Structure formats: C-alpha cells, structure tokens
Amino acid sequence: MSEPRERRDFPTAVQPFGETQRFGPVTTNLEPPERALAICAHPDDIEIGCGATLAKWAVAGCSIHHLVLTDGSKGSWDPERDEASLVATRQEEQREAARRLGGGDVVFLGLPDGELRNTVREQWEVARWVRQLRPDVVLGHDPWRRYRLHPDHRNAGYIVTDSLVAARDPHFFADQELPPHRPRALLLFEADVVNHVEDVAGFEDVKVAALLAHRSQYETTLGLDPNASPARQVAAERAFAEQIRAKLAEHGALAEIASGESFHRLEV
C-alpha cells in the first residue's frame, strides 16, 4: 500500500455546498424577510452555504444577522500557529465577509472548535438569540446530510433545529424572560435532499468576494496557496470564482434557473 501523499499543489477546492439531490417538487424564492439569522459552526460556513442568498436579501432591505458557534481555533494546518491569534484573525475575516455581503452584525459564541456538542447549554444560547432577534427566516447546516464527517457541522445543525423548537415554546427556557418566537421558515444549507432554491443570479461575485475575505482559510478550505506570487494568486482566484459559479449553476439547475443556492426548507 502506498504512503499517503502530502498536499503540495494547492488545487482549487470544490466547495462543500452539499449534493444536488432532489426528490419531488422544488420551491423557489422566499419573499425577502425583514430579518434573517444565519447560524453556522465556523467562520466562513455562512458564506459557503448561503452567502449569495444573504447578499440578495440585504439589497432588498433585509436585516442580516450572523451567529458563529465556535471560535474557529482549529482552522489551520500549521501546528505552530498560535490559536489565540488565529481566533482574532478569523473574527475579523468574518466581519469583513459580512460587510461584503451587504452588512449585518456578527455574534461569536466562542465555543471550542472541533468540540461542539448539542447540549442544553448551546440550545439555551441559540434560543435566546432567536427570541431576541426575532428573525423571519433562519439558515443553518443540514444535520441529516449523509456521510458528514465534521462533527461541528452535524452538531451545529442539530443545535439549530432543537433550539428553534425551544424558542417557539414558552415553556422552554422560561428563565430567559423573552417572548417565544417562531420563524416562518428554516433553510438548511449543504442540504442532503434539496426542496428549495434561491435564485442568486447577479450575486455570484459578491459570494466569491465574501469567501475570499477568509484569507486564513485559503489553504484549508478554499484550496488556494496563500504564499503564491501575485500573478499566480490572481489566476487561482479567477479559477476559484469560476468553480463557485459552476456550482451555483448546478444548484440552480434543480429549479431550472441559471444560478442558485439550494436548501432543504422546513416550516417551523
């Protein structure tokens, strides 16, 4: 058996949007909400999963809120990288990505990266933000996506679904002294089975720009060489943008539109 080969060539990565499977009808284009809350495991997950949708809604006047559950401290392949400085860097990158998507506040729960668990503590925190922000639409990871390897993505999805059940019921977490809130829709990105697509034509470049704000993740997530020469970096970023557009076209095709982000839509 051959030895594992170290990664040296920094190929452009295929973004983990989820498989483009559909079984049955696919709806399109929610009415732009007044408020949307996107909840993710790590800095950059929101941009990957629903960045173009948030950008579209922001232009329509939607108030966008980002809730990042972990501190992102494991997001480097360099064993010598200082975790505290990486956390600070990733927070600044997330704020800049949010700005590029059209603005919106960013909240970091700061839970340890790689150790996210779906417990009452996490549910209490997320339900509190749902009740406080009162979003019309919540977006989060699909916890039922098959063969999902990263536990944070899986557990983040369950935290969101379980927290929404709690947030809508006055008998859950009554100590918060906040009125219950029931969003009108939950959109799960990286969906295992797609039943909803948002048309994002015209917002592809905004999504790419938001992803490229996460420079600390060039190697680990985006498949780009952070130390490439300027000319090579420009060429690699162009190729990356084309790959993002191709993936959006693939997802849009599920609803016979040119460019889309796909989700599994649930009523809350």
Over range 74-78, report the average pLDDT.
Answer: 87
User: The tokens 């920094």 sit on which residue?
Assistant: 10
Read off the pLDDT of residues 238-262 as tens digits, 9 standing for 90 and up. Answer: 999 999 999 999 999 999 999 999 9
Over range 128-157, report the average pLDDT.
Answer: 95
Task: State the chain's mean pLDDT as an integer.
Answer: 90
Burial 68-82 (b: 16+ CB within 10 A, else e): bbbbbbbbbeeeeee
Q: What is the pLDDT of residue 227?
A: 83
Separation CA 124–CA 128 (nearest Å): 6
Percent of the chain with pLDDT over 70: 91
Name the region of 10 (left: φ>0; alpha: ψ -120 to 50; beta: rest): left
Read off the pLDDT of residues 2-56 as tens digits, 9 standing for 90 and up. Answer: 343 333 333 333 344 445 565 678 999 999 999 999 999 999 999 999 999 999 9
Q: What is the pLDDT of residue 247?
A: 96
Over range 143-167, report the average pLDDT.
Answer: 95
Q: What is the pLDDT of residue 20?
A: 57
Read off the pLDDT of residues 88-102 as tens digits, 9 standing for 90 and up. Answer: 999 999 999 999 999
Over range 101-123, report the average pLDDT.
Answer: 95
195 contacts 186 by C-beta, under 8 angstroms:
no
Contacts 24+ apart (CB under 8 A), 238-242: 239/12, 240/12, 240/13, 240/208, 240/211, 240/212, 241/204, 241/205, 241/208
In DSSP notation, 25-76 reads EEEE-PPPPSEEEEEESSTTHHHHHHHHHHHHHHHTTPEEEEEEEE--TT--
Annotated domain spans of the chain: 30-266
Q: What is the pLDDT of residue 22?
A: 56
- Superfamily name and number for 30-266: LmbE-like (3.40.50.10320)
Please give the C-alpha separations between residue 141 and each of 1, 68, 89, 205, 233, in angstroms, as whole numbers. 36, 12, 23, 23, 30
Read off the pLDDT of residues 204-243 as tens digits, 9 standing for 90 and up. Answer: 999 999 999 999 988 888 888 888 888 898 998 999 999 9
Q: What is the pLDDT of residue 2?
A: 39
Q: What is the pLDDT of residue 147?
A: 87
Q: What is the pLDDT of residue 222?
A: 85
CA 231 to chain CA centroid, Å, is 30
Please give the C-alpha separations between residue 165 and each of 38, 84, 160, 226, 242, in angstroms, as whole numbers. 16, 34, 9, 42, 39
Percent of the chain with pLDDT over 90: 78
